[in-house]
Chain A
Amino acid sequence: MASRDRLRLAFFISWRKLLASRVNVLVGCGFLFLLAFLWIKDSFRVSSGAFLYLFPYLFLFFSQDMMGDEIRSGALENVIFVSGRFRVYLLSKNALVAACGLGIASVLFSAIALYGSLTRQFETHSFGLFATGILVGAYYVALAGFLSLFFRAGSNVLAVLLGQIAIFVALLFSASQRSGLAARLTDASVPGMGARLEFLGVSLVLPNIIIGRRSWLNLLGLGAMTGLLFALQSWKIGSLELRKK
């Protein structure tokens, strides 16, 4: 049994699951509709900017119910997953979901870059924003994947979104304060290590803000957290057993 065939099977199962999910189809269509709307009502520049800041959410939504329900359903107690192969399958899901997100985001980005280049509206720094967005997407996959080991159905994604709503509300409340959270986060100079770490802390819940505020500390921090979440998943899956349904 070649590992290439195992990966192909895992990809097939994951891809079909993504397509079978109405939420994913709705989110994908809604995202395209939003970009088209911004383009028509405003400009290509605003639409491409929205794409670069929001496309990591595709990775997040693709990660909904990544593992939990599959583990509990009994579907892994199958001849194709004997001898512990279900663990390899579950671990490879991170890469496969990320690959699906990356594939779709790359197609959209290529289209935007091509049109932008032809009409001389494309800015080269968009490549940097896109690369950062991919890191944010990978972080979302690692985070949502880890949460899916504990949460049922799509509540892993819901938990992330609720955390972001809480951050957003905190930002709104602090917007009027001179040294509030919003002021500290939007201060271009970001004084002191404390403020930098605060920014990093917020970005672990709302990582999209890193796209507009790239720094080595932020990128390394997010990369390290992604690695840590993958390591935690590996540890948890390594000791996973398929008990009663």
Chain B
Amino acid sequence: MAPLLQAQRLCKSFGEVEALKNASFDVQANSVTGFLGENGAGKTTVLKLLLGFLRPDCGCFSVGAERIGYVPERPAFFPWLRGGEILEHTARLFGISRSEAEERTDLLCRRLAFDRRLLGRKAQTYSLGNQKKLSYLQSLLIRPDLLMIDEPFSALDPASIRSVRLIFRGLKDQGRTLLLSSHLVSELEKVCDAFIIIRAGRIVAQGPIPAQPDLESLFFYYTGAGEYRSASRL
């Protein structure tokens, strides 16, 4: 099966800093791929390149999805718009009828334990966790073929993390593709069936998640197991 997302030799520099060095990877359709790396490894840069927020200095990529959803690590919204208005206009933009949007919003609010009354308030006044949930609502509302999430569990409480994990499984069952960027290996391990590991801007490993060793061991092996061992001795 052809990959849904294919990146070849992507490079990106910010001034003197080489954030991405010849990064090549594939994301298979109907997979949940964990994009792993330490802080500052280049995960967010890759996502922003794929979403068109940044332009690569070299290399190319192709995305075979029509509808792309995106949940940033720290979502920001126009301070003068209410949550409900954001959802309403997102739905309209993606050709979702008002009644369907209402129905889906209701369902998603319940799944994410998001207080629907908040939709009447300006999104900027929400707590960080609720802003993240609104971003999930926005992306899930459009039924994305490909959903990219930067730090999917950050700012969420344990119950919401569990709900989000269940949503991921549901999306996979519906044939959707997810790319989850995080450094929380233990959480990703519970939902992912494939992984990509990035270290200092280079893709160092990728493939389906093996039965043995576990993802955490792979992560430490590829991102600096030596440092891990010496730290564990302290």
Contacts and interface: CB of A to CB of B under 8 A. Distances in A.
Given A6-B93, A241-B55, A82 B70 contact: yes
Interface string B112-141: 000000000000000000000001001100
B142 interface: yes
A161 B202 CA distance: 49
B80 A77 contact: no
A12 B89 CA distance: 9
A107 interface: no
Given A241-B53, A243-B54, A83 B78 contact: no
A242 B81 contact: no
B95 interface: yes
Contacts of A243: 14, 54
A82 to B, nearest CB: 5
Size class of the A contact interface (CB-based, 8 Å): 20 to 34
Contacts of A19: 80
Size class of the B contact interface (CB-based, 8 Å): 20 to 34
A79 B138 contact: yes
A83 B148 CA distance: 13
A110 interface: no
Given A16-B80, A16-B81, A241-B53, A9 B72 contact: no
A240 to B, nearest CB: 9
A75 B14 contact: no
Interface string B81-119: 100010001101111000000000000000000000000
B76 A74 contact: yes
Contacts of A2: 95
A74 B51 CA distance: 14
A245 B76 contact: yes
Given A74-B72, A75-B76, A82 B51 contact: yes
A141 to B, nearest CB: 20
Interface string B57-76: 00000000000111110111
B55 A1 contact: no
Given A17-B78, A75-B76, A79-B139, A9 B93 contact: yes
Interface in B20-66: 48, 51-55
Contacts of A8: 92
Contact of B69 (A5, A79, A84): A79
B95 A77 contact: no
B143 to A, nearest CB: 12
Contacts of A241: 53-55
Contacts of B85: 12, 16
A79 B54 contact: no
B203 to A, nearest CB: 22
A74 to B, nearest CB: 4
Interface of B: 14, 48, 51-55, 68-72, 74-81, 85, 89-90, 92-95, 135, 138-139, 142, 144
Given A74-B74, A80-B90, 11 more contacts: A8-B92, A16-B85, A17-B80, A70-B78, A74-B76, A77-B75, A77-B76, A79-B135, A79-B139, A83-B52, A243-B14
28 contacts: A1-B94, A2-B95, A6-B93, A8-B92, A9-B92, A9-B93, A12-B85, A13-B78, A16-B81, A19-B80, A73-B78, A74-B74, A75-B76, A77-B53, A77-B70, A77-B76, A78-B70, A79-B139, A79-B142, A80-B90, A82-B53, A83-B51, A241-B55, A242-B53, A242-B54, A243-B54, A245-B74, A245-B76
Interface of A: 1-2, 5-6, 8-9, 12-13, 16-17, 19-20, 70, 73-80, 82-86, 239, 241-243, 245
Q: What 3 pairs across the A-B complex have the smallest Cβ distances?
A: A74-B76, A20-B80, A84-B52
